[in-house]
Structure 1
Amino acid sequence: MNTKIQPISDGIGQEIINLDNVNILELDKEQIVSLFKSDGILLFRRFDVDTDTFKEFTNLLSIDFRNYAGGAFSRRVINGDQTLLSVNDFKSEIKLHGEMYYQQNIPLMLWFFCANTPLADGETTVCDGRQFFNEISSSTKELFNKKKLKFTVSISKEEWQKKYQTDNLNTLKEICQKNNTHLIVNDDQSILIEYICPAIIPSRCGKYQVFINSLLPTKQLSSKILKFEDNSEIPEEVVFELNEIAEKITTEISWQKGDILMIDNTRILHGRRAFADDQRDIYIRLCSPAFSF
């Protein structure tokens, strides 16, 4: 089949480029799975893909598509499909992170689709959490081994009903229980939620350590909600070190219309550069792989 495979950049991912009108739905699934397992991130480029084809292609390789209940941002639903969401709710930079790592129940796999390119900027940023771990100083590794991260968020009744897509307190309690999240309900039905998790996790195969979490964007956007589990502050020099590493090992993906990005959310961190125009339209699907790791 007439495609070209090359690294996305030095040291991360593979780019599968269409050279001759190949139908993306006819690509060799076994080859895709093999590349994905070894690299954790694949970029499909120059295929003739619209939103329906994107959904059809992702359905071939994924299961357990989910909505964004419990998510940190507001996301526009595309064509009435709760599993197809826009990621353009605001335009500022988002630091590297794993998707939904402020709760236990994360999507194991992510798909991004470029429905429309930005006029300028707005690149998606990615890096390998294995490499990130290797770059961290031993003193910071030791700190993260001793102390877990703790997210503490106060949410009004109206806000949690929107965030968790329910107005039923018992449903909310079930969601929090499944996510290992401590829930306090106040008299006015506003809530306080607390979630504790490690900053570093073992890889799926158990051979590697992976730095993947929601630390950097939380420190960037809502600094007060994140501390260590003993309520001590995360030192500024540690956050500075992590941001320095992130910039050093980040790969930027400049979107082309129809691009599809496939990401292992247990290994690859992603983020976004700021942009200013209203043209950029990137969609996301949250799911699990339809194959074993």
Structure 2
Amino acid sequence: MPLVKNFPSKIFFFCSQPSPEGGETSIIPSHVIVEKMEEKVPEFVGKVSKLGVTFPAKLPKEDQPGDIISRSWKWLLNTDDQEEAERRALERFRISSTKFNQDGSMEYVFGPWSPIEEFEGRRVWFIPLPDYSKDTDDKQMHYRFGDGSAFPIEALDAYKQIVNDNNVDLKWQKGDILLVDNLCAQHARRPGKQPRVVLVSLCK
């Protein structure tokens, strides 16, 4: 089953309070990333398509109030039973390993996944790559090829440049509503000053 089938297909945004400075939402069509990456780093695209990518993640035992990226594994997997959570994680998200810590948090390794999927006749770059600098040590690079080898910094630099050169920044105004096709576009938030309140709803 394609990876895209297990993820929300639509994301709704509602701007309740725009940032007084910055805080834009950047959007880029995912097929553009594939095309540009094949132009700039074709060897990397070929290798990552063949071997896939792995990366670690950690979820707390309980939700962290006010932090959307710190929802618990209970919320994500809709169970409070550790054995059932592990079964669902392995089944739904192609996780290669899981571990529960003494504090109740859950660690796991995603992948190997191919970051490129085909959706509605187009090849899309589905898994965003991290922003590393040339000073980053290989041991700190958590995203790796499926065989465990590190990503070349040149490929990450190319990805960063492509995203920066081809995205569109949406400057929020109070009351704005945005619908993003999560399977065909990537989005990110620009740094900004508080207060900023943009509500998000994920739809299958």
TM-score normalised by structure 1 residue count: 0.55
SS in 1 for 2:86: helix
| Alignment partners' CA distance in 1, 2:142 and 2:8 | 22
What SS does the corresponding residue of 1:134 show, helix, strand or coil?
helix
SS of match in other structure, 2:31: helix
Matched, 1:283 2:193: no
In structure 2, the partner of 1:273 is: 190
The CA deviation at 1:191 is 4.4
Contact 2:34/2:123 (<8 A) preserved = yes
Q: Tell me, yes or no, if structure 1 residue 200 matches structure 2 residue 101.
A: no
For 1:122, the equivalent position in structure 2 comes to: 23
- Residue 237 of structure 1, aligned match among 135, 142, 154: 154
Classify the secondary structure of the residue corresponding to 1:225.
Answer: coil
Alignment pair present for 1:140 and 2:44:
yes
Q: Deviation string for 1:72-121 (max 9, x for gaps)? A: xxxxxxxxxxxxxxxxxxxxxxxxxxxxx8x9731111111111111111
Task: Say whether the 8 Å CA contact 1:185–1:192 is kept in structure 2.
Answer: yes
Equivalent residue letter for 2:48: F
Give 1:38-57 correspondences, 5 Å limit. Answer: none
Q: Deviations over 1:163-205 (max 9, x none)?
A: 21354213312331322223433584664412111111112x2
User: Is the alpha carbon distance of 1:116 and 1:153 closer, same or farther for their aligned partners in structure 2, counting shifts above 3 Å?
Assistant: closer
The equivalent of 2:12 in structure 1 is 111
Identity of aligned residues (%): 21
* Separation (CA, whole Å) in 2 of partners of 1:121 and 1:187: 38
- Unaligned 5+ runs, structure 2: 64-71, 134-139
The answer to whether residue 79 in structure 2 is matched with residue 170 in structure 1 is no
Q: State the partner residue of 2:94.
A: 180
State the 1:242 CA deviation: 0.3
Do the aligned residues in 2 keep the contact of 1:127 with 1:268 (CA within 8 Å)? yes
Describe the shift of the 1:116–1:265 C-alpha distance in structure 2 as closer, same or farther (beyond 3 A). same
User: What secondary structure sits across from 1:115 in the alignment?
Assistant: strand
Partner-residue secondary structure (3-state), 1:150: strand
Q: Which has the higher contact order (CA 8 A, sep 6+)?
A: 2
Which AA in structure 2 matches 1:282? V
Q: Distance in 2 between matches of 1:131 and 1:224?
A: 25
Rounded Cα–Cα distance in structure 2 between residues aligned with 1:148 and 1:236: 17
| 1:127 partner letter | I
Q: Aligned partners of 1:145, 1:238: CA distance in 2, in Å?
A: 13
Instruction: Note the C-alpha offset of 1:214.
Output: 3.0
Deviation digits for residues 122-164 of structure 1, max 9, x if unmatched? 0000000111111112223222222211012356xxx245421
Contact 2:50-2:114 at 8 Å conserved across structures = no
Is contact 2:15–2:172 with CA below 8 Å preserved after alignment? yes
- Paired residues in the alignment total 178
Corresponding residue for 2:67? none
In angstroms, what is the RMSD of aligned CA positions? 2.5
Q: Which amino acid in structure 1 is aligned with residue 128 of structure 2?
A: S
The alignment's TM-score, normalised by the length of structure 2, stands at 0.77
Larger radius of gyration: 1
Moved beyond 6 Å, runs of 4+: none
